[in-house]
Amino acid sequence: METFGRGCLYLILGIIGLTVLVILTGSSIHIPWFIFIPIVILVFWLASKKSKK
């Protein structure tokens, strides 16, 4: 459960960071699914590595 919570936290922080970037630049960001899904997998993998230490 700790890995899931940490992974969700990382995803939420990433989304907030992208939102701030979009607001500051006044543009829009489109992330295709074939890029988004591996990023989600990578975030949860990193979260599981952190919790095993």
pTM: 0.74
Express each pLDDT in 8-25 by its tens digit: 988 999 999 999 999 999
- In the block, which residue shows the tokens 């989600």? 40
Average pLDDT, the chain: 87
Q: Is 22 in contact with 29 (CB distance < 8 Å)? A: yes
Q: How many CB atoms lie within 10 A of CB 48?
A: 14
